[in-house]
Amino acid sequence: MAKLMEVAEINVSNLNDVSVGRNKIETVLNKAVSISPDASWYLILDNQGKAIAQYIQVKAGDLTKYSALPTSRTTQAIQYQPVSLPQAIHLSDLPMVANALKTNLPLAGTELLSASVMQRLGLEQQASIGLRQQTIVSIPESQQPFPEGIFDIDTGKVGLATMAVVPIQMNTQVVGVAVVGTLINQNFEIVDRLRQKTGVETATIFALDWRVSTNIPYMDHKTRAIGTRVAREVADAVLNRQTRFIGESNIVGQTYRTAYSPIYNHRKAIDPGTKPIGIAYVGQSQQLIQKNLMSFALTSYGVGGTILFLAGFVVSPVARSFSQALYRLAFLLKK
């Protein structure tokens, strides 16, 4: 998308160029959407971070209701509907946009976006999952969530998204950026595809300690457990101490054998001290493990091997699924 704008020789920071080249700009935008139709937003911003062209789409359906559990292991592609917004969305406050404009470097990563940004993009309803009740009676404190407010999820309104930002240049000057992003909140394609391909029972993506995409059942055994939060021992290990957590954990009242790994934003590559913005998880319920291993001697090596398998071979595809999505976006932007 960025390269197409450069080839078209349209200075997206020049109002006259934008006005004269409006048809070309819309053609570039439409081509980007047709090549990779599964992103949530496609934006062309000027050098002040203001949108001069955009296409935004939100998950279709009733987003006020919690999504039902899948009836099979077949992955269902997410369905979208377009969002109608005024032009001139300002996104100069997004660190990835600001850094790309400043450094003239293409950037890609997983980003935590504020409720304000979600509202500007018209995606606040998909992002705003809220906080759901969780059972804490008779559960050790370490396996209960941290008190609300420890991690800033804005009462369940922030967005977690994969993004790619590529500078647009004219005569060696950065005149704007092309931005593509996919909102992960209530997008279950990643976790369901992971389960389908690897055979792991459950998978989750967290924004900080808050579930935004999962195939774990809620307490009603009918809906996905989005809106619930991770056990504090996991949050402390992964978000505070930046280590993997591998072991037994309570999830919405059920015991699981689990593996959790930190998710970082684009700054991790340049600043090793960057804190995680989320968590990737895979796990098997203890009940299912015991059922499947009833005929085997459950030695300590066997249990350890199961968890190492989850950590080494199942968590890695989660990370790869993010990377592959970002590479596709970066490739699209460079077309």
Q: Could you read off the pLDDT of 39-93 as tens digits, one per residue? A: 999 999 999 999 999 999 999 999 999 999 988 777 788 899 999 887 689 999 9
Predicted pLDDT of residue 18: 82
Lowest mean pLDDT among 111-115, 268-272, 311-315: 311-315
Q: Is the pLDDT of residue 6 over 60?
A: yes
285-331 per-position pLDDT tens digit:
766 655 544 433 333 333 333 333 333 333 344 345 444 433 343 34
Pair (12, 90) in one structural domain: yes
Model confidence, pTM: 0.84
Q: Which range marks the domain in which residue 102 is found? A: 2-186+327-334
Between CA 224 and CA 232 the distance in angstroms is 21
Name the percent of the chain in helix, strand, coil, to the closest 5: 35, 25, 40
User: How large a percentage of the chain has pLDDT more than 70?
Assistant: 84
Between residues 114 and 24, the one the model is more confident about: 114
Res 9 pLDDT > 90 = no
Cα–Cα nearest to 282, from 203, 198, 193, 201: 203
On whether both 82 and 24 belong to a single domain, the answer is yes
In this structure, the chain runs to a length of: 335
Q: What is the pLDDT of residue 71?
A: 82
Cα→Cα distances 5→20, 103, 106, Å: 13, 19, 15
Average pLDDT over residues 192-220: 89
66 and 171 fall within a common domain: yes
CATH of the domain at 199: 3.30.450.20
- Name the residue among 241, 239, 240, 259 with its Cα closest to residue 249: 259
SS3 of 45-111: the string is: EECCCEEEEEEEEEECCCCCCCCECCCCCCCCCCCEEEECCCCCCECCCCHHHHHHHHHCCCEEEEE
Q: What is the mean pLDDT of residues 25-49?
A: 89
Same domain, 125 and 212: no
Give the least confident one: 15-24, 139-148, 217-226.
15-24
In this predicted model, which residue has the larger pLDDT, 125 or 191?
125
Same domain, 153 and 109: yes
Task: Name the DSSP class of 141.
Answer: G
Distance set, CA 233 to CA 79, 141, 260, 310 (Å): 36, 9, 11, 19
166 and 202: one domain? no
State whether 124 and 201 are in the same domain. Answer: no
For residues 24 and 10, is the Cβ–Cβ distance under 8 A?
yes
Does residue 171 contact residue 259 with C-beta atoms inside 8 Å? no
Domain identity same for 133 and 280 = no
- What angle, 0 to 180 degrees and rounded to 10, lies between the N-to-C axes of helices 315-334 and 189-198? 130
Within 10 angstroms of residue 2's Cβ, the number of other Cβ atoms is 26
Q: Is residue 321 part of a domain?
A: no
Same domain, 32 and 170: yes
User: Percent of the chain at pLDDT above 90?
Assistant: 48
pLDDT at residue 198, rounded to an integer: 73
Phi and psi at residue 130, in whole multiples of 5°? 80, -175
Question: What does the block give as tokens for 281?
Answer: 């998880």
Tokens 């391909």 found at? 197
The answer for residues whose C-beta is within 8 angstroms of residue 251's C-beta and 6 or more apart is 202, 216, 225, 231, 258, 283
List, for residues 213-247, the tens digit of each pLDDT value. Answer: 999 999 999 999 999 999 999 999 999 999 989 88
Q: How many domains is the chain built from?
A: 2
Residues 109, 258 within the same domain = no
**Average pLDDT value for the chain:** 83
Query: Quick one: 140 and 219 in the same domain?
Result: no
- Dihedral sign for Cα 201, 207, 211, 212, please: negative
pLDDT of residue 323: 41
**Residue 157, pLDDT above cutoff 70:** yes
pLDDT at position 259 is 86
